[in-house]
Structure formats: structure tokens, C-alpha cells
Amino acid sequence: MSSVLSRVAVAAAGLPIVLFAAYYGSWALLVVAALGTLLALHELYQMGRSLRPLVLAGYGGALAAVVGAGLGGAEWMLGGLLLTLLLAFAFAAVSETRQSTTVAIATTLLGAAWIGLGLGHLVLLRDLEPDGRLLLVTVLLTVFVADTFAYLGGRLAGRHRMAPGISPGKTWEGFVAGATLGVLTTWFALYEQDVLEDTWRPFMMGGIVVLAAVAGDLFESMVKRDLGVKDSGRVLLGHGGVLDRVDSLVFAGPAAYYAFLALTPG
């Protein structure tokens, strides 16, 4: 199966599930977010297993952050994440490893914060009243459109590498194509529904989401390069692993949440 067909097949299977959870929210969204968190975190800890992360502490803290976001908001999400430190201390105290304890705990906390807080902010975004449902669906579609057309634009017209030292496959031509259509997706969804006043606010919101998504993609590429792996996993065929699919969202979610709060008049 070609890489293009593989990407389309996986997206066609997974996107409806994610959009269903985003639309109905509540426990459906929590289940999808929690499952995505655990799978992505498992892949990260597998990639960095030489650093000896305290995986149970990471799972517990990241899961508590996502569930806390759904049950109690931002404060509970942060409190859930801090559970990682308590659990990491407990497991480090009884474990026997040649790895530095500082490195092991740092790796554990990086994964829990990166993925747990990233996906937790998507839950927070969904809970914003009165437009949280539309906001979350808009972010998901914006990231999907930007990623898809950046890939296609790079395949068709890519000439100038964007970040050769981090991700050699990304090009400026692909970035422009993906960013343009991604911003237009956000503008169309939010401006037409009068979610943000004035023409420039939806455009700015779209720009922030797209730039954050690209940064999230590059951040994961940098981590994978540092750990010496190409894909985070193989569970999603040509898409790689779960972390390869949510890398943009874990940056775009927090960016969209705070951008919306900042751009909302009054």
C-alpha cells in the first residue's frame, strides 16, 4: 500500500471516531483522550527505554491529568500531572537501575507533561461555554487539513527544505500550502458561526493553531532523531505510531485554548 493511500485509509478510519467523541464530549471524549494518552506515552517510553523512564509513574500522572481536565478543569489537570512526581519518587526509591535517577525522572515527567497536558487541553477546550464543541472540532479539522495539504504540497512541489536538521521531509512549499488551507478552515468555521468577532480574530486563531501544530510535529521529530528512531510505532500503517498522529495536537490544543481566551472580546 502506498504511503498516500495508507494515510488516507487510517484517517478515514480514525477521524470519524475522534470527531464523534469531540461532538458528544463527556465520557466519550475522555475515553478517547485517555486511550490516546496511554498509547502515545507507551510509544515514547519504548523509544526512550535506554533512559529507564518510570513508566507506571508516567502513565498514572498523564492519565490523572486528562481525567482531571474532564472532571475538574485546569486546576485538577495540573494536580493530576503533579502526581507523576510523587509516583516517580516512590518508584525510583525502590527500583534498581544503572541509569541516573535524575534522567529517569526527567524522562518520565517530560512524557507525562508533553502528552498528558497536551491532550488534556483538548478536553478543556471542549468544555468552554458556549462554543467548546465547535472549537474542538475546528481545531481537529484545522490540524488535519494543514497536515494533509502540507504533505501533498511537499510531495508535489516541495523544493526547499524547512528544517533539514530535524525533519528532512518537510518543505517550505508544503508548509505554505498546509498553513494557508488550515487558517482558512479555522476562519470559515469560526467567523461564519460568529464565534469570534471581527475578521482578524478567526484568522489569528487559525494562524496560532497551525503554527503550534507545525511546532508540535517538529518537536516530536527532534525527539525521535535524538533517540535514533524513525517512527514512534507501527500500529497505524503508513502513519507510524499514535504519537506520530497526535504530535501536532498536543501543541495545538493548549495553543488553541489560551488563544481563544485571549482573543475573546471582554
pLDDT of 1 > 50? The answer is no
Q: Which of 63-72, 96-105, 159-168, 211-220 has the lowest mean pLDDT?
A: 96-105
pTM for the model stands at: 0.91
Q: Which of 10-24, 158-172, 230-244, 247-261 has the lowest mean pLDDT?
A: 230-244
pLDDT of 224 > 70? The answer is yes
The predicted-structure confidence for 68-78, as pLDDT tens digits, reads as follows 999 999 999 99
Domain boundaries, the chain: 3-263
Q: Which of 115-119, 130-134, 179-183 has the lowest mean pLDDT?
A: 130-134
**Mean pLDDT, rounded, of the chain:** 89
Residue with the three cell numbers 508535489: 156
Average pLDDT score over residue span 118-124? 96
CA dihedral 109, 68, 210, 200 (to 10 degrees): -140
Cell of 196: 469570534
pLDDT of 109 > 50? The answer is yes
Contact 8, 239 (CB under 8 A): no
| CA 110/CA 61 separation, integer angstroms | 11
Distance of CA 7 to the CA centre of its chain: 17
Could you tell me which residue, 216 or 9, shows the higher pLDDT?
A: 216
The predicted-structure confidence for 241-265, as pLDDT tens digits, reads as follows 899 889 999 999 999 999 999 998 7
Asked, as a colleague might, if the bond just before 130 is cis with ω within 30 of 0, I would say yes
**Closest among 65, 79, 189, 82 to 120, alpha carbons compared:** 65
